[in-house]
Chain A
Amino acid sequence: MRRILIEADKCKGCKNCSVACMKAHVPEGTVFSLSDPQFESRNTILLDSEEKCRPLFCRHCDKPACVNSCMSGALVKNPDGHVLYDRDKCAQCFMCVMNCPFGVLKPDRATGTYVVKCDFCALHGGEPSCVKNCPTEAIYVKEVE
């Protein structure tokens, strides 16, 4: 499968990836604004205790705990390996949020009715916008087994 690999030490915390993610998920007919809470990034950057940047991106895990905890069938591991989320199927139990061992998932900020989840930019040819916008190549796509 194709995965976004991370070289955390190259991350400069510029948040280009987060802005790119937001912009890649603007619903049709909506005007993007960095001030509008409806726009959220699927990725984020955490700091460790030494204040080093630690990018947090959905790994589309080989054994996804989120999929295992989904009781509505909204989260599915696709044949190509990506874990996709169907907002219409989701019953908003947020068991996936609790069970992601890395704390990647979250309910959406504006309405609290769906899960903010990386879709590998399925609507953009499966080429992740975050990767395209990283100025230091701290993230890049690679085929992995």
Chain B
Amino acid sequence: MMTKRFSCSTCQSADKPLGQFIADLPIETSFHRVEAQEVKCEFGLEGVCCRLCANGPCRITPDSPRGICGADADTMVTRNFLRAVSAGSGCYIHIVENTAWNLKNTALAKGTLKGRNALERLCDMFEVTGADVYEKAVNVAEAVLADLYKPAFERMELTKKLAYAPRYRRWEELGILPGGAKSEVFSGTVKSSTNLNSDPVDMLLHCLRLGISTGLYGLTLTNLLNDVMLGEPEIRLAPVGFRVIDPDYINIMITGHQHSMITALQDRLIEADVIQKAKAVGAKGFKLVGCTCVGQDLQLRGAHYTEIFDGHGGNNFTSEAILATGAIDAVLTDFNCTLPGIEPICDGLQIKQICLDSVAKKANAELIDFSFDVRTAATERILDDIIAAYVARRGEVPLNLLPEHGNDNTLTGLSEGSLKAFLGDTWQPLIDLIAGGQIKGLAAVVGCSNLVSGGHDVLTVELTKELIAKDILVLSAGCSSGGLENCGLMSPDAAELAGPKLKAICQQLGIPPVLNFGPCLAIGRLEIVATEIAAALGVDLPQLPLVLSAPQWLEEQALADGAFGLALGLPLHLGLPPFVTGSPIAVQVLCEDMKTLTGGHVLINGDAIESAILLEDIILQKRKALGLS
């Protein structure tokens, strides 16, 4: 008799218990769909399919080297690429825009601002002030918003204050200093439309411009503004994985990137009358279960939220499985990465889906207006909906928990501030370790998980293991962190997997060889770490023994992040190429010419061992150039 398992073909997973859990599920997940999508269209893969006009789709082959309009492979590819980077940038700019508004509105309403020190640092950086914290916060937020809304021809003012000076000069020389961040997205969309720009190099330079606005505003500033509102990260050990799900509570899984949006609700969930409501229907109270980057963000600031947040469950492609435990009563979505694949699962398991931002409206979800002035009322409605879902589904829907999954001692709460504080308020100890060769170099392993680089988190985890074995300290931000922490690499015990020198340091300090900076937004924090170290050494970023890798990049946002990395002049490793390989010019510019433009370059390798060797070689070359042995 056949089992109830949905399908016997699921993709691999670095997280083996998760892979087995999904393989045994009676429902379909992304893991199940990989095989049927195995054959990829080469035109799409190489970026040489153009659908910009009614003459299309046109595709490039040796017999048809140009589209009907005359666009060649280079134009098609870079146009498609610019569209993708623009969209990715737009996502992050949307996040920082909402975050700045949340800060402004919170300050105007004299709401809670947990990160006073963070606010002071921003005021110093922006050279703004105010009569009290609220006025200061309003001014900071307005400075950000003013930049975001500038036209494309007017440079953003904070760029110079945020950027490392040598970088800023280089960008100025290259003419890629961004105008208003929203306008740059707009320009990217226009440039890549039908029969407009056909200059591949111009379009790739526009990608760098978008990379700068994305990185400094979408990433860095989102973190810093959130720190003001939500509190600064504090280093601590925390539980991760499916073990954080406690079925005795009404559980809300959160997906997205806009942490400042859900705080109103989050704070309400631990108030006595709300807990009483939960108890009235048989639950102990409410819990948020972290998923995707907003979960990472909450974990990062977990020290401030111990009551409501039990821990991070997992990353993007873990979300379907978390729902399949049956113990989640509602999904609260503020942004991506919210897979469409959760919809039939939510339907089947009677899980209430709520969206707080129309950009992330899921087909079966209720979109609730959560703008600042109506948040209080909306929160009450959401609470009632979730309680109703809990009452309707608990007892009906079977539980399928995985309480042994994950671990209890993942080191979290790392930021540019908390790490520096940990080191004694100076980067010198880290610089000394790097200079002394105990730490060979730094690798920022960031980005998403995809299911085609050997499987879920497979390349990320394998590459990370190879890097730490070579005494390279790994810093992670994004869904990569979700995979690495659930696989145990962010627990102090993982020191055992590091090379002898790195292992000794980790054991001495009680830290893991892979440091968790949290959400993908924290790529901005990594940039601050790198910049401060470079400044301490008096060198530019491309000279540092530092590499960037997004082994399992997934989305358009990751492409915008990558453009930031290239603008910073960093070597950028990817497990799979973006859809540009059909253009000789794009490949030449990204992989070679970029070295003379910004100092960075792209390298593609899908093999963990080979990739680690390539990245180690780069680090060794940079060490040598700095005169380090």
CB proximity of A41 to chain B, nearest CB, Å: 12
| Contact between chains at B41 and A137 (CB < 8 Å) | no
Question: Could you tell me the distance between the alpha carbons of A44 and B39 in the complex, rounded to whole angstroms?
Answer: 10
- Tell me if B273 counts as interface (CB < 8 A to partner A): no
CA distance A137 to B38 in the complex (A): 22
Task: Please name all residues of chain A whose beta carbon is closer than 8 Å to the beta carbon of B42 when the two chains form the complex.
Answer: 12-14, 53
* Residue B396 at the chain A interface, CB threshold 8 Å: no
Of the residues B39, B61, B63, B64, contact of A47 by C-beta under 8 Å: B39
Chain B residues with CB under 8 Å of A12's CB are: 41-43
The reply on A81 being an interface residue by CB < 8 A is no
* Contact status A14-B41, CB under 8 Å: yes
B59 within 8 A of A: yes
Instruction: Determine the distance from Cα of A53 to Cα of B64 in the docked complex, in whole angstroms.
Output: 21
Whether a CB of chain B sits under 8 angstroms from the CB of A103 is no
Residues in B neighbouring A46, C-beta threshold 8 A: 39
Q: Give the one of A12, A13, A15, A46 with max B CB within 10 A.
A: A12
State the Cβ distance, A18 to closest chain B Cβ, in Å: 9
- Identity of the chain A residue whose Cβ is nearest the Cβ of B61 in the assembled complex: A136
CB within 8 A of A13: which of B39, B59, B61, B63?
A: B39
Interface of A is mostly: loop
Q: How far is the CA of A135 from the CA of B44 in the complex (A)?
A: 13
In the assembled complex, which residues on chain B have CB atoms less than 8 Å from the CB atom of A14? 41-44, 59
- The answer to the question of A45 belonging to the interface, with a C-beta cut-off of 8 Å to chain B, is yes
Name the prevailing secondary structure of the B interface residues. mixed
Min CB distance, A44 to chain B, in Å?
A: 8
- Interchain Cβ contacts within 8 Å, total number: 27
Q: How many residues of B contact A (CB 8 A)?
A: 11
Nearest CB of chain A from residue B465's CB, rounded to whole Å? 24
List chain B residues, Cβ under 8 A from A136. Answer: 61, 63
Q: How far is the CA of A12 from the CA of B39 in the complex (A)?
A: 9
Chain A residues with Cβ under 8 A from B4's Cβ?
none
Total chain A interface residues with beta-carbon distance under 8 A:
11
**Interface readout for B59-88 with A: 1 if CB under 8 Å, 0 if not?**
101011000000000000000000000000
Question: Within residues 47 to 76 of chain A, which ones have a CB less than 8 A from any CB in chain B?
Answer: 47, 53
* Complex interface: chain A residues within 8 A of B61 (CB): 135-136
CA distance in complex: A48, B42 (Å): 15
In whole Å, how far is B363's beta carbon from the nearest beta carbon of chain A?
A: 15
Closest partner residue, chain A, to B64 (CB atom): A135
Residues of A within 8 A of B59 (CB): 14, 135
A98-126, CB < 8 A from B? none
Find out whether the CB atom of A15 lies under 8 angstroms from the CB atom of B41.
yes
Q: Is there an interface contact between B39 and A15, defined as CB atoms closer than 8 Å? A: yes
Taking the nearest CB of chain B, how far is it from the CB of A87, in angstroms?
Answer: 26
Complex alpha-carbon distance, A13 and B59, angstroms = 13
- A53: chain B residues within 8 A (beta carbon): 39, 42
| CB proximity of B12 to chain A, nearest CB, Å | 15
- Cβ contact within 8 Å between A45 and B39: yes
Q: How far apart sit A15 and B63, CA to CA, in the bound complex (Å)?
A: 19
- Could you say which residues of chain A place their CB within 8 Å of the CB of B63? 136-137
CB distance from B77 to the nearest CB of A (A): 15
CA–CA, A26 and B291, complex, Å: 44
Cβ contacts under 8 Å, A45 to chain B = 39
Report Cα–Cα, A13/B64, bound state, in Å: 17
Q: How far is the CB of A49 from chain B (nearest CB, A)?
A: 12
* Nearest chain B CB to A14 CB, angstrom units: 4
Q: How close is A65's CB to chain B, nearest CB, in angstroms?
A: 25
Q: Which of B227-243 contact A (CB under 8 A)?
A: none
Binding site for A on B (CB under 8 A): 38-44, 59, 61, 63-64
Q: Can you pick out 23 interface pairs between chain A and chain B where the beta carbons lie within 8 Å of each other? A: A12-B41, A12-B42, A12-B43, A13-B39, A13-B40, A13-B41, A13-B42, A14-B41, A14-B42, A14-B43, A14-B44, A14-B59, A15-B39, A15-B41, A45-B39, A46-B39, A53-B39, A53-B42, A135-B43, A135-B59, A135-B61, A136-B63, A137-B63
Q: A12-B41, A14-B41 are in contact. List 8 more A-B contacts (CB 8 A).
A: A13-B40, A14-B43, A14-B44, A14-B59, A47-B39, A135-B59, A135-B61, A135-B64
The 7 closest A-B CB pairs, nearest first, are A12-B42, A14-B41, A13-B39, A45-B39, A136-B61, A13-B42, A135-B59
